[in-house]
């Protein structure tokens, strides 16, 4: 079974530009999460989808970040315009709806560098 | 919200020795505590977890202990091997789906 995949693996952009990150969850997983790790710090929760609906977006830093999950399958996270402090590793995770969302399966992450 | 502190940030051990990583949490409502291992170039992977109604759990060379009163939990790795070298994250869950992570511990096992 394929795991969570993320694209791209790395992205280097200049301040003010736009970047879109993509996540493909494990097939059949209705829960999808975005997290971010800024260098050396904790992995921080950004938001949680159940199918195509946003259940919790309390961790989104500001309105420059927009997450979507059209059709309840893959998800995108857009940063527009990017700022220096947005640099970090963005992880996507997924889990099945049953089971109380215990184990979250993580993708390899997208390393974003804003210059 | 939940705040998870993790120590140490780096840990170097001789192969065959034990490694211990400690975490504290702030929200007494947290009820699920997973540990994730992240190897180079990969995403975090669950290695063991414990629920608030259990004090200790063991799986081969790894074990986790939980002290609800003190709000701290620990990961123990015995007989460390080179493949145990990785970044380890503790986490706590208060809401049904949201995990709060520690800052990670980079473990290096010296041959």
Q: What is the pLDDT along chain A (115 residues), one digit of tens a residue?
A: 689 999 999 999 999 999 999 999 999 999 999 999 998 899 999 999 999 999 999 999 999 999 999 888 999 999 999 999 999 999 999 999 876 557 899 999 999 999 9
User: Which residues are CB-contacts of A39 (< 8 A; sequence separation ≥ 6)?
Assistant: A87, A88
pLDDT at B99: 93
Q: For residue B83, what pLDDT is reported?
A: 96
Q: What is the mean pLDDT of chain B?
A: 95
Q: Which of A40, A103, A106 sits opposite B43 (nearest CB)?
A: A106
Phi-psi region of A72 (alpha: psi -120 to 50; beta: other; left: phi over 0): left
Coil, strand or helix at A72: helix
Indicate the SS3 state at residue B65.
strand
pLDDT band at B48 (very low <50, low <70, confident <90, very high): very high
pLDDT > 90: what percent of chain B?
Answer: 88
What pLDDT does residue A102 have?
A: 74
Report the alpha-carbon distance of residue A39 to residue A112 in Å, rounded: 11
B97:A55 CB<8 A: yes
Could you give the percent of chain B with pLDDT greater than 70? 100
Integer Cα distance of A81 and A86 in angstroms: 10
In chain A, residues with a C-beta closer than 8 Å to the C-beta of B103 are 40-42
The predicted pLDDT at position B2 comes to: 87
Q: Are A88 and A10 in contact (CB under 8 A)?
A: no
Residues of chain A with C-beta less than 8 angstroms from the C-beta of B97:
31, 33, 48, 55-56, 95, 101
pLDDT band at B54, cuts 50/70/90? confident
Residue A109 Cα distances to A89, A90, A95, B23, B79, angstroms: 6, 5, 16, 24, 30
In B26-82, DSSP assigns E strands to: 32-38, 45-51, 56-59, 62-67, 72-77
């Amino acid at each position: 079974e394929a795991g969570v995949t993320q694209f791209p693996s790395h992205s280097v952009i200049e301040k003010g530009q736009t970047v879109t990150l993509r996540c493909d969850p494990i097939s059949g997983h209705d829960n999808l999460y975005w997290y971010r790790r800024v260098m050396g710090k904790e992995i921080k929760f950004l938001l949680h989808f159940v199918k195509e609906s946003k259940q919790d977006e309390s961790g989104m830093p500001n309105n420059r970040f927009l997450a979507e999950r059209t059709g309840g399958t893959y998800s995108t996270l857009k940063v527009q315009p990017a700022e220096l402090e947005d640099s970090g590793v963005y992880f996507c995770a997924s889990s099945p709806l049953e089971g109380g969302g215990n184990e979250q399966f993580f993708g390899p992450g997208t390393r974003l560098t804003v210059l | 919200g939940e705040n998870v502190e993790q120590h140490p940030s780096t840990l170097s051990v001789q192969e065959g020795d034990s490694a211990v990583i400690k975490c504290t949490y702030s929200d007494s409502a947290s009820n699920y505590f997973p540990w994730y291992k992240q190897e180079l170039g990969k995403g975090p992977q669950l290695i063991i977890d414990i629920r608030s109604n259990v004090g200790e759990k063991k799986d081969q060379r790894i074990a986790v202990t939980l002290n609800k009163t003190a709000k701290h939990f620990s990961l123990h790795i015995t007989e460390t091997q080179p493949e145990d070298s990785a970044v380890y994250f503790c986490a706590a869950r208060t809401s049904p789906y949201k995990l709060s992570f520690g800052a990670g511990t980079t473990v290096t096992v010296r041959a």
